């Protein structure tokens, strides 16, 4: 019968094996983000064409930003923030329930790093906010990348790592998390807060930081009193 020491070694080995996977994902996302950042900063026609195509599709599906609930002053602007806030509280609640306060601190640290990276990229690229239906930009700030999308992606990644692969709860959270991230992205475009490529950049930034945080969370103790809290 395996001893507790053997079990601890197995857990440690699994965490060590997960490190390259998480860090490789972070590195791959960083390369993709660097390429997208270069395209956006250069004013590539590919970026403009993609943004226009996605915006036209959103207008056909939901109406233009001149509608009653769209644009910078419409409820669509608040939807993304509300969804993101609910996601943050859910992830922190799950970590506290599973007696993983260290993991919760890693999440908060990751969000801080993500915000700093987002701010640096915004300043570096200097891309203006999208024009609203009546002409002027919805905000005077910069739009690339989307911080809402980066945070939502980071949080969903960490939650999936905590729940472990293959369980019914994991699959449910994968589906709901994907819907949530997509909804946040759509809300940012409809609110004239971001271009579609800003949303894509936010997802990549979320993967860069989120995979690194997931590595640290996965390396932490997954159990309490010798058994993982489920």
Higher pLDDT, 40 or 225: 40
pLDDT attached to residue 190: 82
**Spatial distance between the Cα atoms of 176 and 170, rounded to a whole number of angstroms:** 10
pLDDT tier, 66 (very low <50, low <70, confident <90, very high otherwise): low
pTM exceeds 0.85 for this model: no
pLDDT tier, 220 (very low <50, low <70, confident <90, very high otherwise): low
pLDDT tier, 193 (very low <50, low <70, confident <90, very high otherwise): confident
Q: Where are the domains of the chain?
A: 12-219
Q: What is the pLDDT of residues 142-180, one digit of tens each?
A: 899 999 999 999 999 999 988 877 788 889 989 999 999
Q: Residue 76 phi/psi, 5° resolution? A: -60, -30
CB neighbour list of residue 70: distance below 8 Å, 6 or more residues apart? 62, 63, 64, 76, 190, 191, 192
CB neighbour list of residue 115: distance below 8 Å, 6 or more residues apart? 147
pLDDT attached to residue 140: 63
Higher pLDDT, 88 or 141: 88
Average pLDDT score over residue span 111-121: 96
Smallest CA-to-CA distance from 188 within 228, 226, 151, 227 is with 151
Query: Which of 129-133, 180-184, 190-194, 205-209 shows the lowest per-residue confidence on average (mean pLDDT)?
Result: 129-133
Whether 5 has a pLDDT exceeding 70, the answer reads: no
């Amino acid at each position: 019968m395996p001893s507790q020491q053997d079990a601890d070694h197995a857990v440690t080995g699994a965490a060590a094996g997960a490190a390259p996977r998480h860090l490789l994902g972070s590195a791959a996302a960083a390369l993709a983000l660097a390429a997208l950042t270069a395209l956006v900063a250069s004013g590539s026609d590919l970026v403009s064409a993609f943004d226009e195509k996605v915006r036209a599709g959103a207008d056909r599906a939901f109406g233009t930003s001149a509608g009653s609930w769209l644009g910078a002053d419409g409820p669509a602007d608040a939807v993304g923030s509300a969804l993101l806030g609910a996601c943050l509280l859910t992830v922190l609640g799950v970590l506290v329930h599973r007696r993983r306060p260290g993991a919760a601190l890693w999440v908060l640290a990751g969000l801080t790093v993500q915000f700093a990276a987002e701010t640096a990229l915004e300043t570096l690229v200097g891309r203006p906010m999208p024009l609203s239906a009546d002409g002027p930009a919805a905000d005077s700030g910069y739009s690339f990348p989307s911080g809402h999308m980066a945070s939502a992606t980071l949080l969903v990644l960490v939650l999936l790592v905590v729940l472990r692969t293959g369980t019914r709860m994991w699959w449910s959270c994968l589906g709901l998390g994907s819907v949530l991230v997509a909804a946040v992205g759509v809300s940012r475009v409809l609110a004239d807060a971001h271009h579609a490529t800003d949303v894509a950049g936010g997802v990549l930034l979320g993967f860069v930081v989120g995979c690194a945080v997931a590595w640290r969370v996965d390396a932490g103790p997954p159990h309490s009193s010798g058994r993982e809290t489920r």
